[in-house]
């Protein structure tokens, strides 16, 4: 009887493992070059299922019914062209609670769409811009060692990750929205203080992670864990 019971339990476990659905992502790129092989290898190693789509085709899909088949949208684009219909599509998805994760140079997207910085929680200013009587013009510096401090160690995105260093790119003098909830910060002199956060917009906890410029970052185990936990948390948070 014990042997039968054990065999049944093992069978149930194997069936559950086999039928467990992978998180299915739409990875949006375009507008900025990057090392594609190590970037997508990272998602393969993290065991995500994904489709990859460059702009402007990605925004066309997002504005259609096909976007519903994805558990989360991961943005690694740096793009500025967007129609009014596509803007409204983004806003509808955020109202529905669609999981959205923005990485690295996605912060630079949609310079002329003011609502975008309220969605993502910040803005990289490509041109000198006066905001509340202060002038912002953002900067960047790549191939630097960045000390990363965990600002919220209890958050599911950062849980189990200790302060670390990463060879990556910093952005400086970018703006952040007052309502963001910081996850990571850095003391690097070329960087703004907060480099990862969540930002509530509509009915979505948008996740932004500024790290992720190149192969060294893609291979960094702390960045990988941050990305994996961030996607899993975001999908679970917004699953209907």
| Domain spans of the chain, in order of start | 24-237
pLDDT of the residue at 18:
41
Q: Is the predicted pLDDT of residue 19 greater than 50, yes or no? A: no
Peptide bond into 8 cis (omega under 30): no
Q: Is the predicted pLDDT of residue 239 greater than 90, yes or no? A: no
The answer to whether the predicted template modeling score (pTM) of the entire model surpasses 0.75 is: yes
Chain mean pLDDT for the chain: 92
In the three-class reduction of DSSP (H, G, I as helix; E, B as strand; rest coil), residue 181 is classed as: strand
Each residue of 114-153: pLDDT tens digit? 999 999 999 999 998 888 788 889 999 999 999 999 999 9
In the three-class reduction of DSSP (H, G, I as helix; E, B as strand; rest coil), residue 217 is classed as: helix
**The two three-digit tokens of residue 76, written as one number:** 């690694």
Each residue of 1-14: pLDDT tens digit? 555 554 444 444 44
* 181-186 and 194-201 beta bridge pairing: antiparallel
Each residue of 181-195: pLDDT tens digit? 999 999 999 999 999
| Percentage of residues in the chain having pLDDT higher than 70 | 91
Question: 24-237 belongs to which CATH class?
Answer: alpha beta
Q: Is the predicted pLDDT of residue 56 greater than 70, yes or no? A: yes
Measured CA distances, 168 to 5, 112, 172, 198, 211 (Å): 52, 27, 13, 21, 7
């Amino acid at each position: 009887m014990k042997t039968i019971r054990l065999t049944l339990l093992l069978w149930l476990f194997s069936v559950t493992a086999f039928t467990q659905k992978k998180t299915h992502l739409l990875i949006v790129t375009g507008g900025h070059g990057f090392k594609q092989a190590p970037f997508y290898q990272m998602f393969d190693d993290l065991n995500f299922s994904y489709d990859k789509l460059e702009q402007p085709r990605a925004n066309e899909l997002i504005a259609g019914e096909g976007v519903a088949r994805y558990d989360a949208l991961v943005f690694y684009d740096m793009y500025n062209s967007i129609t009014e219909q596509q803007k409204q599509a983004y806003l509808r998805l955020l109202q529905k609670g669609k999981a959205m994760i923005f990485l690295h140079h996605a912060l630079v997207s949609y310079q002329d769409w003011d609502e975008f910085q309220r969605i993502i929680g910040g803005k990289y200013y490509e041109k000198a811009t006066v905001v509340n009587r202060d002038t912002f013009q953002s900067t960047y510096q790549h191939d630097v060692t960045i000390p990363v401090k965990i600002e919220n160690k209890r958050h599911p995105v950062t849980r189990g990750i200790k302060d670390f260093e990463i060879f990556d790119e910093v952005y400086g003098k970018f703006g952040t929205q007052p309502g963001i909830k910081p996850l990571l910060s850095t003391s690097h002199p070329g960087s703004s203080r907060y480099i990862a956060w969540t930002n509530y917009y509509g009915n979505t906890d948008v996740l932004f992670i500024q790290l992720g410029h190149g192969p060294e970052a893609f291979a960094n185990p702390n960045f990988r864990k941050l990305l994996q936990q961030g996607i899993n948390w975001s999908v679970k948070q917004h699953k209907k």
